[in-house]
Amino acid sequence: MATIERESQMTERGRYRFTVKKHARGEYWIAAEPAGNTIESLDDCVLGFEIEPKATHGHAVTVADFLNSNIVAITLT
């Protein structure tokens, strides 16, 4: 876990990769899965992102690929 101190607040930074998941009701969503250092506060959680309910698997993969190509880390302050 990498930590940056700023004005008495602690910022945690973690590396995650984005993967496509499917709800039991058939809708796709994006999960951020650990891919290196993690944010300790999120270690017992699943960080997910809901996408358009009618999104196809292909669209969900496109979104996950875009995030993986453009998001270097997630930070929590």
Q: What pTM does this model have?
A: 0.82
pLDDT digits (tens, 9 = 90+) for 18-44: 999 999 999 999 999 999 999 999 999
Question: Which tokens hold the place of 51?
Answer: 């996408």
Q: In what order do the strands lie in the sheet with 9-14?
A: 2-6, 9-14, 74-76
b/e per residue, 13-26, with b = 16+ CB within 10 A?
Answer: bbbbebbbeeeeee
Give me the number of domains the chain comprises: 1
What was the pLDDT predicted at 3?
A: 59
pLDDT at 53 over 90: yes
Where in the sequence is the domain holding 9, given as residue range(s)? Answer: 2-76
